[in-house]
Amino acid sequence: MDKDLLSLVQREVKGIITDLAERDARLDAVETKLEKVEEARKEEIDKFLERLVAMKKMLSDELLRRVEGVEEKFEGVGQRVEGVEQRVERAEQGMARLQDGLTKTDGKVEQLAHEIKSQRMENVKPG
C-alpha cells in the first residue's frame, strides 16, 4: 500500500508539475503578447505625438505668418494715416495763408475805400 500510495502521490506531483509547466508556458505567451501590444501602443503614441508636434509647428508658423500680415496691414494703415495727416496739415496751412491773404486784402480794400472817399471829398469841396 505504501508503494501504491507513493506511486499515486508521484503521479499527482507529476500532474501538478505538468500543469504548472503548461500554465507557465501560457503565462509566458500572454506576457509576450502583452509586451508586443504595449510596444505597438508605444509606437502608436510616439507617432501620434510626432504628428501633434508637427501640427503645433505648422499652426505656430501659420499664426506667425498671419500676425506678420496683420502687422504689415497696420503699418500700411499707419502710413496712410500719416499721409492724410500731412495733407490735412498742408490744407490747414493753406487755409491759414488764405485767411491771412483775405485779411490783408480786406485791409487794402478798406484802405482803398477810405482813399476813394477822401478823394471824392476833396473833389466835392467847394473851391
DSSP state of 125: S
Rounded mean pLDDT, 38-66: 97
Q: Is the pLDDT of residue 125 over 90?
A: no
Domain ranges of the chain: 1-100
Over range 65-85, report the average pLDDT.
94
pTM higher than 0.75: no
pLDDT at 126: 64
Give the alpha-carbon dihedral of 13, 15, 21, 26, to 10 degrees. Answer: -140
Whether residue 31 has pLDDT greater than 70: yes
Q: State the SS3 of 40-91.
A: HHHHHHHHHHHHHHHHHHHHHHHHHHHHHHHHHHHHHHHHHHHHHHHHHHHH
